[in-house]
Amino acid sequence: MDRDVDTFGSRRSTVYATNGVVATSQPLAAQAGVRVLEEGGNAFDAAVATAAALNVTEPTSTGLGGDVFALYRTADGEVGGMRSCGGAPREATRQKVREAVASEADDTAPEDAEMPFTGPHTVTVPGTARGWEATVDRFGNRTLAEALEPAIRYATEGYPVSEVIASHWTGAEELFESDHARDAYLVDGERAPEAGEVTTLDRLGASMRAIAEEGADVVYEGRIGEAIVEEVQREGGFLTMDDLRAFEPEFVDPVSTTYNGAEVFELPPNNQGLIALEALNIASELDAAEMEGVERYHRFAEATKRAFHDGHRYITDPAYEEMPPLASKEWAKKRAADVTDESSDVSFGVPDSHAEDADTVLLCVADDEGNVVSYINSRFAGFGSGLVAGDTGIALQNRGASFSLDDDHPNRLEPEKRPFHTLIPGLLKFDEDDWAAFGVMGGFMQPQGHLQVVTNVVDEGMTPQEALDAPRWRYRESGRLAVETRVPGEIQNGLVRRGHDVQVLPPVLFGGAQFARNRDGVLSAATEPRKDGNATGF
């Protein structure tokens, strides 16, 4: 690639340090993580501290009413994953939800009802509080209360809202309808805060203090849980305290593949990590790394098309369906066989998940002990379902919108089933003493963002910040191939000549990436230039 053309002019440099680094999408949250590292915490403590701070400083994309995921490599050499995401309520059958949705629409019969994007039927069991607790209990040096302290301070003492987040916050003005929701997140219950305006989230801060003092049980067995259930049921949903009590996080084995000498780790289903691995494998079969210009873009795009088609056909909660070996080299060889010099008509699959442009938060941490962590905390789309649990200040997720009410859909709604999850933290092994945590947030941008960051670093030899600054492309649900305006005109025209339906989209639709690496004891970090955040270390 022509690096002079393709490097994004963010004027950011990769951050280097020897004690600890944190990269995320809001500067105050990154500082919270570094502070915990400075006070003796490790990367896992810092991950929880940063995630909790993001709940306050970037509430537009994350919250206690959502889920949390991790991929990590510990100082002892353990490579693992955590998945703390709940399923649908036990009483939420497709027929009950069809009838409930139809009753809310005057001209809809139950058999024609579709899964809504917001509202009580999109609320799945939240995994955040249990996930935070499990992270520090299993791997941390500090207590949960110590990890939550910076977030509680930001919530109760106030902080100035940053620019991109202020823009996203305006969505709450139409989403939230109840007085307690509007009072929790809007200034005077009327408007979103402006960039630079000091904001407090007292109700959320009080809930975090309760979790710090009483542990996650207050959410799953106590008064916060009761407020969550009461809110959902008052709006017509099926969530119960039994659903909350039954929830526990999972520690899972990652799935992985090798790409050009590096090993790439992803979360297994019900997350979409297999899409990233399949795309990398197909691209490898196509020798995409050896190509330049239009040919390189074309081959990576064709690999991504096939991976999305397969992922949306097969990936679901593995407790309900078996899946083929999407991450295998043999599977990729078969899928690469029909790639030609022309754009192929491969469908995006059948996601029906409202997830294409969803956004959330990601943070990456590395410490001097050798721990490397990629950590995601999400409420799915913006402020989620539109429901806030009583006076807790906890906005509830709408991840259940990823379910379908179609009986033949791979992600059809079933009681206790976990929805298809877009969220995928990433982990890279370059060598025995060279590991990186990374990720790219943004709905269906995530696996193709993983592919692009990995190939930028591994194939092109870019520094972490160069890899995140580089212009991006993305395959869309419509079948179009979207590019940033910084993709050179000759590349865009060449793709059109090959039959790709190219469209130019603004940077906000190309994801939010973070990166942290420990290379033989030297730590480095980079942050997404399209967001408010930074990478920091000490």
pLDDT of residue 353: 60
Tens digit of pLDDT for each residue in 264-305?
A: 999 999 999 999 999 999 999 999 999 999 999 999 999 999
What b/e readout covers 80-119, taking b as 16+ CB neighbours within 10 angstroms?
bbbbbbbbbbeebebebbbebbbeeeeeeebeebebbebb
Give the Cα separation of 310 and 322 in Å (integer).
13
SS (H, E, C) 133-163: HHHHHHHCCCCHHHHHHHHHHHHHHCEECCH
Mean predicted lDDT score pLDDT of the chain? 94
**pLDDT level of residue 109 (50, 70, 90 thresholds):** confident
**pLDDT level of residue 9 (50, 70, 90 thresholds):** low
pLDDT of residue 10: 65
pLDDT of residue 352: 58
Query: By C-alpha distance, which of 131, 119, 120, 109 is closest to 52?
Result: 131
Q: What is the mean pLDDT of residues 302-310?
A: 96
How many CB atoms lie under 10 A from the CB of residue 213? 11
Backbone torsions φ then ψ of 451, nearest 5 degrees: -55, -45
Query: Does the annotation count 7 as an active-site position?
Result: no
Amino acid at 120: P
Q: Would the pLDDT of 11 be above 90?
A: no
Q: Would the pLDDT of 6 be above 80?
A: no
Helices (H) and strands (E) in the chain, counts: 19, 19
Of 50, 60, 360, 392, which is the active-site residue? 360
Q: What is the mean pLDDT of residues 4-33?
A: 84
Q: Are strands 512-519 and 434-441 parallel, antiparallel or unpaired?
A: antiparallel
Q: What is the mean pLDDT of residues 247-276?
A: 97
How many CB atoms lie under 10 A from the CB of residue 15? 22
pLDDT of residue 475: 94
Tens digit of pLDDT for each residue in 399-408?
A: 999 999 999 9
Q: Would the pLDDT of 108 be above 90?
A: no
pLDDT of residue 423: 92
**pLDDT level of residue 349 (50, 70, 90 thresholds):** confident
Tens digit of pLDDT for each residue in 372-425?
A: 999 999 998 889 999 999 999 999 999 999 999 999 988 999 999 999 999 999
Tens digit of pLDDT for each residue in 49-85?
A: 999 999 999 999 999 999 999 999 999 999 999 999 9
Q: What is the mean pLDDT of residues 324-346?
A: 96
Give the Cα separation of 423 and 385 in Å (integer).
17
- pTM of this structure: 0.95
The alpha-carbon radius of gyration of the chain (Å, integer) is 22
Angstrom CA distances, 246 to 398, 403, 416, stand at 20, 21, 10
